């Protein structure tokens, strides 16, 4: 499920009633719910991340940005549906961003109570998802998202326009480094501080010239990374989630976590206008035909049933996902399916996975 119920304490509520649930408690979900909490935790656990400073008031923040090298990133503390992150190329831009976050409170009064200002990092982003239960960490194969709206990583940031798995950038050496420098210290620091993380921990990691650095953590499966990731999982996901809840992940060896060798690619079909304004209720054609294609699965993100039709009901509508013998073949297959699906104003990137094919 999404972050908001976790941050609001759905897991605590279930546990209070003696019900089983997979996910972090409210105290641990703060790793996604509060950027201030997340950055302080990373500093404390010595996890590599962008240099930063935290502000409670806009005036000192505006004073401080005069002394910075650019670009910097201004972030609202709380959940802002992926929108409270503003890249600034000058102190004028940074001051405007501080006003938007802390004075106009564009991302909400709670989210704008504090702000994090940090250095902008450069590089390619890797998404590393891991199941965490007790002392055990089970990392999943690396994935890569495409955050920008348009081909060539141009245009505004979105929730993600497509993804692939495995990401060749995530070599076994790099994954081992990320596990030991990021996941182990964070999980142990949280356990020691008595807000243990149990659930799915998602690390958004920038591959910089100085090595991997954490941009963010999410307390849930990532969208759209999860679509190509789970497309490759041959064993039962439920067994893994149960093992995380029961803290028996250490018993989940390679005989119990089986992956398809073939890569998978997911292409997001979005409503025209997203991430800005768009219209809902557009009938979707072609889903039946695509449902008969082998090695293809369409994940519905924002659709609803309207009479006997399926119509669009949000920004990112479908995650069209395919397996292929190679990454290039998986991409080809996913786009073959995308071309069979249509709705008024449908928009998608045409270059998902090209980064890894170059
Ligand atoms: P966050 O919500 O903190 O993860 O930020 C969302 C997205 O903004 C990240 O996935 C990156 O694409 C981008 N971003 C955040 N912080 C930085 C940074 N310090 N440098 C470069 N890009 C960033
Ligand atoms: N794809 C990024 C996220 O799920 O937040």
Residue nearest to atom 14 of ligand 1 (CA): 215
- Tell me the C-alpha distance between 339 and 52, whole Å: 44
- Please tell me the distance between residue 134's alpha carbon and the centre of ligand 1 in angstroms: 28
- Please tell me the distance between residue 1's alpha carbon and the centre of ligand 2 in angstroms: 12
- Helix-strand-coil percent breakdown of the chain, rounded to 5? 35, 30, 40
Dihedral angle sign, alpha carbons of residues 251, 255, 261, 267:
negative
- Please tell me the distance between residue 144's alpha carbon and the centre of ligand 2 in angstroms: 10
Beta-carbon contacts of 192 under 8 Å, excluding residues fewer than 6 positions away, are: none
User: Band of the pLDDT at 296, cuts 50, 70, 90?
Assistant: very high
What's residue 307's pLDDT? 95
* Average pLDDT for the chain: 96
Residue nearest to atom 12 of ligand 1 (CA): 147
Atom of ligand 1 nearest to the CA of 84: 2
160 lines ligand 2 (CB under 6 A): yes
Mean pLDDT of 271-291: 97
- Please tell me the distance between residue 202's alpha carbon and the centre of ligand 2 in angstroms: 9
204 lines ligand 1 (CB under 6 A): yes
Query: Is the CB of residue 51 less than 8 Å from the CB of residue 119?
Result: yes
Q: Is the peptide bond before 71 cis (omega within 30 degrees of 0)?
A: yes
pLDDT in tens, 170-216: 999 999 999 999 999 999 999 999 999 999 999 999 999 999 999 99
Ligand lying nearest the CA atom of residue 226:
2
Helix (H, G, I), strand (E, B) or coil at 211: strand
The predicted model scores a pTM of 0.94
214 lines ligand 1 (CB under 6 A): no
């Amino acid at each position: 499920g999404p972050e908001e119920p976790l941050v609001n304490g759905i897991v605590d509520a279930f546990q209070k009633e003696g019900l089983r649930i997979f996910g972090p408690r409210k105290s641990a979900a703060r790793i996604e719910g509060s950027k201030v909490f997340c950055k302080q935790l990373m500093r404390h656990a010595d996890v590599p991340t962008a240099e930063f400073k935290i502000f409670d008031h806009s005036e000192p923040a505006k004073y401080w940005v005069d002394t910075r090298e650019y670009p910097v990133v201004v972030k609202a503390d709380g959940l802002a549906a992926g929108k409270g992150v503003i890249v600034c190329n000058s102190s004028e831009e940074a001051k405007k961003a501080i006003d938007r976050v802390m004075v106009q409170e564009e991302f909400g009064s709670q989210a704008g109570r504090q702000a994090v200002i940090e250095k902008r990092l450069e590089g390619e982003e890797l998404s590393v998802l891991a199941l965490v239960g007790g002392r055990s960490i089970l990392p999943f194969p690396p994935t890569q998202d495409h955050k920008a709206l348009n081909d060539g990583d141009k245009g505004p940031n979105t929730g993600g326009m497509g993804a692939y798995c495995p990401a060749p950038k995530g070599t076994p050496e790099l994954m081992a480094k990320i596990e030991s420098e990021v996941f182990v210290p964070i999980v142990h620091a949280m356990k020691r501080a008595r807000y243990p993380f149990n659930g799915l921990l998602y690390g958004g990691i920038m591959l910089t010239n100085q090595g991997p650095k954490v941009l963010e953590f999410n307390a849930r499966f990532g969208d759209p990374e999860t679509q190509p990731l789970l497309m490759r999982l041959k064993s039962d996901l439920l067994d893994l989630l149960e093992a995380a809840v029961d803290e028996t992940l250490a018993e989940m060896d390679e005989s119990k976590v089986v992956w398809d060798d073939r890569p998978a690619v997911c292409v997001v079909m979005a409503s025209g206008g997203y991430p800005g304004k768009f219209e809902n209720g557009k009938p979707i054609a072609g889903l039946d035909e695509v449902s008969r294609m082998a090695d293809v699965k369409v994940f519905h993100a924002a659709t609803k049933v309207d009479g006997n039709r399926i119509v669009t009901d949000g920004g990112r509508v479908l995650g069209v996902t395919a397996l292929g013998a190679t990454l290039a073949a998986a991409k080809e297959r996913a786009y073959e399916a995308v071309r069979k699906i249509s709705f008024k104003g449908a928009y998608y990137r045409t270059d998902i996975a090209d980064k890894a094919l170059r």
